[in-house]
Amino acid sequence: MKKSFDFKNTAIVLAVIATMLLAACASTTPQTAAEPEPQVTSVESWDGNGLDIPLDGSSMEAFEASKARVKAHTTPAEYQSLESAIAYLLVYDIAAKGQMELLVPRLDGFTTRQLRERIKWRRSSRDKNEVEKDKAEIETIDT
């Protein structure tokens, strides 16, 4: 007994599989929401170095506005040092608990220069201990 190939059922099965694949692709396509237009705010003028502009930690909006003011009056490298200092403190400031909402009020009134000095001080004390250890090792090797 020879079985014949049923083209009608095969076509229906292939159509169902194709429909399921198209439905799966359509449902997994990420939908990109329209990003809001960045608000252009006027930046207050500043006489002097932008590193001396105090940060306003009274709210997140005020903090972002003061960062924009610093950015407008500093070089890209200087502004990046502010961003790096904030990122460093977000990790290592225990009271901030890794949350920007807790860190921002703690930065109220600080300037970029003060934040950089604060972090440099922390790093320099660690580096100083490493230098002292290296000196002790050199003395041990020399004797």
Q: How many domains does the chain contain in total?
A: 1
Residue 67 lies in a domain: yes
Domain that residue 68 falls in: 50-115
Residue 33 lies in a domain: no
Residue 81 lies in a domain: yes
pLDDT digits (tens, 9 = 90+) for 96-112: 888 999 999 999 999 98
What is d(CA 22, CA 123) in angstroms, rounded to the nearest whole number? Answer: 56
Q: Which two tokens stand for residue 111?
A: 């300037």
Strand partners, 111: 54
Residue 135 lies in a domain: no
AA identity, residue 104: V
Residue whose entry in the numeric block shows the structure tokens 């502009």: 53
Residue 139 lies in a domain: no
Residue 87 lies in a domain: yes
What is d(CA 45, CA 86) in angstroms, rounded to the nearest whole number? Answer: 23
pTM: 0.55
Q: Any idea which of 4-8, 10-14, 100-104, 122-126 has the lowest mean pLDDT?
A: 122-126
Residue 61 lies in a domain: yes
Q: Any idea which of 41-45, 80-84, 111-115 has the lowest mean pLDDT?
A: 41-45
Residue 69 lies in a domain: yes
**pLDDT tier for residue 33 given thresholds of 50, 70 and 90:** low
**pLDDT tier for residue 38 given thresholds of 50, 70 and 90:** very low
